[in-house]
């Protein structure tokens, strides 16, 4: 099985994330699409034998960059092969690892599906008092405070590659061209950022996608991403045109 990842300045997360699954028997290759990191992300990734890193520069002002990167990543998966998609702020639960091992053994997804959605559980972290920084555990992962967001937040993460597959909608996107999909309720653990200011930066980046689309007179293929009120101004072209 291929583990498929996208990276952009993930230096601080690489080793704890990759080490969590690198030596599992079900992992044959780890393909990482790097958006042009300016830190040591690529260097750290190349220390891991199963990792293959391919550079495709991320254009921050391009209105569909997120979905574009996802389609680039998918293009590296040979037709008929199975891939599992994992972000650098996520970790597989033991139950999910068992499911992935079983899928890899059978070379088939449950019920003959070509995509599977897995349940994602998101956690806020324990942070130092009056600080954006998370407190880290002995295993290198941040200590969990409490669950946030909706659950189960089913995410398309396991794909048996077909030529018809294509991601649409940015930044939160959907895979089309599927014959059959299933939901598997085994948790993918999603952590908020170690430094909460990185969460704010990401919210701005997603909002900028909307601003660029409005500036070009384009509409989303499915829906616009809802943003918190405090980030609304970043969805307006006028904010970014002041650069």
* Residue-range domain boundaries for the chain: 2-196, 197-240
pLDDT at 24 (0 to 100): 98
The pLDDT value recorded for residue 122 is 98
The pLDDT value given to residue 237 = 94
Q: Is 165 exposed, middle or buried (0-12, 13-18, 19+ CB in 10 A)?
A: buried
What stretch of H or E contains 124?
Answer: strand 115-125
pLDDT mean for each 10 residues of the chain (243 residues): 97 97 98 98 98 95 93 98 98 98 98 98 98 96 96 97 97 95 98 95 92 94 89 94 72
pTM above 0.75, yes or no: yes
The closest alpha carbon to 85, from 4, 19, 7, 165, belongs to: 4
The residues facing 34 across adjacent strands are 7, 55
| Region 2-196: CATH code | 3.90.550.10
pLDDT at 243: 55
Size (the chain), residues: 243
């Amino acid at each position: 099985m291929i583990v498929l990842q996208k990276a952009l300045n993930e230096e601080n997360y690489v080793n704890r994330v990759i080490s969590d699954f690198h030596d599992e028997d079900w992992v044959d290759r780890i393909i990482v699409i790097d958006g042009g990191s300016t830190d040591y992300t690529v260097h750290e990734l190349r220390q891991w034998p199963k990792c293959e890193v391919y550079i495709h520069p991320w254009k921050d002002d391009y209105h569909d960059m997120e979905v574009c990167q996802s389609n680039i990543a998918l293009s590296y998966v040979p037709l008929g092969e199975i891939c599992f998609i994992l972000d650098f702020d996520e970790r597989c639960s033991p139950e999910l690892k068992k499911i992935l091992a079983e899928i890899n053994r059978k070379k088939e997804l449950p019920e003959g599906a070509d995509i599977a959605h897995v349940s994602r559980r998101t956690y806020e972290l324990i942070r130092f008092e009056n600080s954006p920084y998370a407190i880290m555990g002995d295993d290198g992962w941040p200590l969990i405070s409490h669950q946030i967001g909706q659950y189960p937040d089913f995410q398309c993460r396991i794909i048996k590659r077909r030529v018809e597959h294509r991601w649409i909608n940015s930044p939160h996107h959907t895979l089309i061209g599927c014959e059959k999909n299933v939901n598997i309720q085994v948790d993918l653990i999603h952590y908020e950022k170690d430094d909460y200011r990185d969460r704010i930066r990401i919210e701005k980046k997603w909002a900028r996608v909307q601003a660029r689309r409005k500036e070009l007179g384009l509409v989303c293929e499915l829906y616009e991403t809802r943003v918190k009120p405090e980030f609304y101004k970043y969805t307006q072209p006028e904010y970014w045109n002041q650069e």
